[in-house]
Chain A
Amino acid sequence: MRYIRPLSIEDAVGELAKAVGPAAILAGGSDLLVRMKGGFIEPELIVDIKAISGLADITQTADGFRIGAAVPCAVLGENKAVRKAWPGVVEAANLIGSKQVQGRCTITGNLCNASPAADSVPALVAAAAKAVVAGPSGKRTIAVESVPTGPGRTSLAKGEIIEAILLDKRPEHAGDAYLRFIPRTEMDIAVVSAGVNLTLDDKGAIKTARVALGAAAPTVLLVEEAGQVLVGSRLDEATLERLAKICSGACRPIDDKRGTIEFRRKVAGVLAQRAAAIAYKRAGGK
């Protein structure tokens, strides 16, 4: 086993590309070290990406925000500009684990761990966030929802690293929110979750909407029909009823140690309603 700390993304990609045995990328390590401890992964090579220039930075661009792959969620939570523009994404990122885990974990890591219950992912999907992928054949930018392909599996090829997550600049009258259900008040993995991202027109009607559900299927679900039902509405009760029904219907959950199929279906709808109400209020809707 080797531990390396490259200083450039090219070096990191090069090392990963030529690695013979299993290789792991280390940013926050809050998933990787747990999997190593449990014996689920025994990497030959650990590539610590925290010393790569730019990866630990949040930068505001003309198009929005670029959040480096090594930015801990605690740092993201302390960034006032991101918090103001994307409160739902930030609150989702700040729900991962404890304060201790917050000091280490990253939204890129949360995405690449590819858990259907990852807290930040439904919020990122609802936000139409993008991932910048660096690899042996150059860089590409992809929708975050195309990264996880199943529990623990991603679409990234050998040698590829996500170096940043991109969030768009917000228009007027925009809001997002994320809610998860956990049995305790902290420290649990989401039993089911919902992220909602809305923009409103000048009159307060919903102009665009994206709804994503977590822990409801093998990957985070973008429920396009749920977004469509919201568009044009002012979140009246009938719309919320339909939203819940669509979300419950879109779930393909499982029975496991954290919850039942029935529970997940039902609560997915409840959370989507509640998250939509928060996002609507944040967007300035009344």
Chain B
Amino acid sequence: MAGVAVSTTINGDAVEYLCQPDETLLEVLRDRLGLTGAKEGCGTGDCGACSVIVDGRLVCSCLVLGAEAEGRKVETIEGMAHGDQLHPLQQKFLEHAALQCGICTPGFLIAAKDLLEKNPSPTEEEIRFGLAGNLCRCTGYDKIVRAVQDAAEVMKGA
């Protein structure tokens, strides 16, 4: 198998890598670039733990080939905070204890960020359906939904 040379942008930085044609973006991020914030919970797009944003679209990085990232802009959890300034969603997840084990948290934060960028004032129902692609087994989602509601308020005021 011949490797595919890819030039892309990840969290604002130019990145180049060589990957196999069947290698997923998730494998590239985790195994080649050391960006292990995106998690593999299923590898089939059913859990959302590997969520990243590609050219403004929320996707499961396990369902994107590494080769497809050529010329695109990829955003991962590692790029969510600005320096030592947490994103309001990150801060609210901490304050509301919206995580227990934390394995789903990076995916939820990315999905919630995408949700609030597209809909800054979501109803509870819109939050619940907007985050339905992210599985959490610890929290029962209650505190996650509250954290997103609270972050939305903060972000509107900002």
Contacts and interface: CB of A to CB of B under 8 A. Distances in A.
A101 B60 contact: yes
A30 interface: yes
Given A2-B2, A36-B22, A100 B60 contact: yes
A281 interface: no
Contacts of A186: 129, 132-133
A5 B69 CA distance: 12
Contacts of B60: 98, 100-101, 104
B57 A37 contact: no
Interface string A185-214: 111000000000000000000000000000
Nearest to A78: B118
B133 A104 contact: no
Contact of A100 (B20, B45, B67): B45
Interface residues of B, number: 34
B62 A33 contact: yes
A99 B133 contact: yes
Interface in B107-155: 111, 114-115, 129-134
A29 B43 CA distance: 13
Interface string A29-49: 110011011100000001010
A48 B68 contact: yes
Contact of A187 (B57, B70, B133): B133
Interface in A86-105: 97-101, 103-104
Interface string A60-74: 000000000000101
Interface size class of A (residues with CB under 8 A): 20 to 34
Contacts of B95: none
A188 to B, nearest CB: 10
A26 interface: yes
A33 B62 CA distance: 8
Contacts of B79: none
Contacts of B111: 99-100
Contacts of B59: 100, 103-104
A104 B63 contact: yes
A238 interface: no
B65 A46 contact: yes
A186 B131 CA distance: 10
A3 interface: yes
Interface string B13-27: 000000011101000
Contacts of A185: 129, 132
Contacts of B70: 5
A20 interface: no
B124 to A, nearest CB: 13
A146 B51 CA distance: 36
A157 interface: no
A58 B1 CA distance: 36
A237 B36 CA distance: 58
Contacts of A30: 45, 63
B111 to A, nearest CB: 7
Contacts of B67: 3, 5, 48
B35 interface: no
B57 A33 contact: no
B21 A2 contact: yes
A98 B45 CA distance: 8
20 contacts: A2-B21, A3-B22, A5-B70, A30-B45, A36-B22, A46-B65, A48-B67, A74-B57, A99-B58, A99-B114, A99-B131, A99-B132, A100-B58, A101-B133, A103-B58, A104-B60, A185-B129, A186-B129, A187-B46, A187-B132
